Amino acid sequence: MTAFIRKGTIPHALLFTGIEGVGKKTAARMFAMACNCQGEGREQPHLNSGQTGLPDNHKISEPCGICRSCRKILSNSHPDVIHIRPSGYSIRISQIRDLCGILSLKPYEAKVRVVIISDAQAMNVAAGNALLKMLEEPPDRTILILTAAEKTDLISTVSSRCQNIKFNPVSRGKIAQILSEKKGVNPVDADIFAGMSNGSLSGAYNISSSKLLRKRDWLIGELESLSINDTGRCLAFAERLSKDKDDFLDSIEAIDIWYRDLAVFRHSSDKVIFIDLSDKMRISCKKYSEQSIISKFEEIQTARKAIRANGNLRLTAESLVLKLVQI
Ligand SMILES: [Zn+2]
């Protein structure tokens, strides 16, 4: 992005791709700020507007974060920074038509108007086609930024007209550092949450509570102490697991990570996610063969699919627990 700004080759439409929580929307907003900042200094006046959506003689500067324009964008109250999000599950054609109406007028006050279409894969075909027209004839002084997980999530006629910028998952170390500094999470827990988040900062924010770790301890403690000879206890555990769908899915994630850690622990004990449970892992990893752990992953995946497909929670939990204990 900075390279685009430096080179002055900002296209009319950008597509930011990457998993949820890697800063795509934040970057889009920073970009809108950079294009419109009224703060002084650090100007880079060598943009070649001929190849961009920027007006002639436009200068772009690093955003100061404090000028009127920056503050308006930060508080989501800038009339020329337009954010389109899915309404319900989809972005509808009426939303894109309304946008076309707004873009047919000149910007109110911005040097460069920025339209951010979040979760652009939620556009249905009609909405995508309406947007396509806009991409073919870009409105004056306007840059469109679409966000999606993958380029292939969008219809190809739309994605091929956007410059794709891929966002990488955030590193475990970086997420742990942010959780410690901004949320006051202790370093060990921050490292665990960071490992569980798969590189998504917002995901890490959502899961970072001590309650989750207490629940994890209970889950793993129960699971490791169950025996196939005590079916009654297995079924009672399954009943507690299956009370709530989302809760059940969260429990499954924790169990999945536990077995993943057991598999990893044998070869590189420093790469585990539940780093605070390494003493337990040392004991448990001797109990299961690699084949047994692979079979457990398969059972977990089967259960996950059944839950997502609205299968019977209780039956799914019973089947999962009995199999995990058996194999
Ligand atoms: Zn500014």
pLDDT tens for 7-60 read 555 678 999 999 988 888 888 888 899 888 888 644 444 333 333 334 444 444
285 C-alpha to center of ligand 1: Å?
Answer: 55
Q: How far is the CA of 169 from the centre of ligand 1 (A)?
A: 28
* Cα→Cα distances 189→184, 214, 286, Å: 10, 11, 26
Residue 286 CB partners (closer than 8 Å, separation 6+): none
Q: What is the whole-number distance in angstroms between the Cα of residue 62 and the centre of ligand 1?
A: 8
Rounded to the nearest angstrom, the distance between the alpha carbon of 181 and the centre of ligand 1 is 25
CB within 8 A of 1, min separation 6: which ones?
A: 27, 31, 165
* Distance from Cα 42 to the centre of ligand 1, integer Å: 11
How many alpha carbons lie under 13 Å from residue 275 in its C-beta half-sphere?
14
Q: Which residues of the chain have pLDDT under 50?
A: 41-60
Cβ atoms 2, 128 nearer than 8 A:
no
Q: Which of 39, 38, 61, 47 is nearest to 11 (CA)?
A: 47
Q: How far apart are CA 123 and CA 129, in angstroms?
A: 9
How far, in Å, CA of 117 to CA of 139, rounded?
15
Please give the distance, rounded to the nearest whole angstrom, from the Cα atom of residue 69 to the centre of ligand 1: 6
Ligand 1 centre to CA of 189 (Å) is 36
State in Å: Cα 59 to ligand 1 middle: 13
- Find the 5 Cα to ligand 1 centroid distance in Å: 16
- H or E segment to which residue 30 belongs: helix 24-36
Residue 63 alpha carbon to ligand 1 centre in Å: 5
**pTM of the prediction?**
0.75
How far, in Å, are 114, 160, 254 from residue 273 at the CA level? 40, 38, 10
- Please report where in the chains the tokens 């207490």 appear, as a residue: 214
Taking each helix axis from N to C end, the angle separating 245-265 and 313-326, rounded to the nearest 10 degrees, works out to 20
pLDDT of res. 253: 92
- 119 sits in the region (left: phi over 0; alpha: psi -120 to 50; else beta) called left
pLDDT (0 to 100) of residue 53 = 38
Residue 112 C-alpha to ligand 1 middle, in angstroms? Answer: 13
Q: State in Å: Cα 65 to ligand 1 middle.
A: 5
Helix 187-196 with 210-225: angle, nearest 10 deg = 70
Residue 89 DSSP label? T
pLDDT value of residue 48: 33
Count the Cβ atoms, other than its own, within 10 Å of residue 18: 21
**34 alpha carbon to ligand 1 midpoint, in Å?**
7
Residue pointed to by tokens 């040097």: 111
Q: What is the pLDDT of residue 211?
A: 85
